[in-house]
Amino acid sequence: MQPRTQRQKEILDYIKRFIERHGYDPSYAQIARHFGLNSKATIAKHVEALERHGLLARHRGDGAFNLNVQGGESVSENICDIPLLGRIAAGAPIDVIENRDTISVPRFLLGRVRPQVIYALRVVGDSMIDEHICDGDIALIENRTEAANGEIVVALLESSRVTLKRLFRFGSEIELRPANSQLAPFRVPAREVEVQGIFRGLLRPAT
């Protein structure tokens, strides 16, 4: 089934893109800001209409709604297995630890990236908490060695320690910037940093 109005279609497309990029659903306030609206109630009405049409499912938890985009694919087409390679520090860098487990991931979290180039790492620490990347989360990483300024990357330092940070280049140095107001960024010589992947999404294990 398709949305009944153009605005419903725009909201549904925005929710899909947001989830693909961030790995979690947008709030009503975020949707309203995106469309230049002051009223969350207006967004709620559109979401209710999409739910009636079977295009969204809402699940209440911890006082907030979670929005799940519905689709016509089978369960097997919606799920893919991703290698879980170990841990990544969202804090001080930690030694590389490689496991060879796998984890099942909803396909929509990967966006347009092929599952074959994605791997997963378990987050340790809270230096990226302002990006909603928390201790114990599973970070979904695209296996790439090049990153644009400002991207969240898996950075290998001195060939032995890994960390998850935003990357910025300053001449012959690279700044690795946390997303936590209590922590300061740090710079290292570019020759000591190897990009091993780009952050693409997040899984939060059930507690």
In tens, the pLDDT along 26-49 reads: 888 888 888 888 888 888 888 888
The two tokens of residue 35 are: 């469309």
Q: Is 23 left (phi over 0), alpha (psi -120 to 50) or beta?
A: left
Q: Which CATH number fits domain 75-203: 2.10.109.10, 3.60.15.10, 3.30.230.10, 2.40.40.20?
A: 2.10.109.10
The two tokens of residue 80 are: 């893919």
Task: Encode pLDDT of 129-163 as tens digits.
Answer: 998 898 988 899 999 999 999 999 999 988 778 89
- The whole-angstrom separation of Cα 143 and Cα 173 is 23
Task: Encode pLDDT of 60-89 as tens digits.
Answer: 544 445 566 665 443 344 678 888 887 877
Catalytic, out of 76, 165, 172, 181: 165
Report the relative pairing of strands 186-189 and 173-177 from DSSP bridges.
antiparallel
- Where are the domains positioned within the chain? 6-69, 75-203
Active-site residue 16, yes or no? no
Could you report how far apart the first and last alpha carbons of the chain are, in Å? 34
Q: Which CATH number fits domain 6-69: 3.40.50.170, 1.10.10.10, 2.20.25.570, 2.40.50.140?
A: 1.10.10.10
DSSP state, residue 43: H
The reported pTM is: 0.60
Which one-letter amino acid corresponds to residue 43?
A: I
Looking at the chain, the whole-number percentage of residues with pLDDT higher than 90 is: 29
Backbone phi and psi for residue 71, each to the nearest 5 degrees, phi listed first? -150, 175
Active-site residue 127, yes or no? yes
Catalytic, out of 9, 39, 127, 181: 127
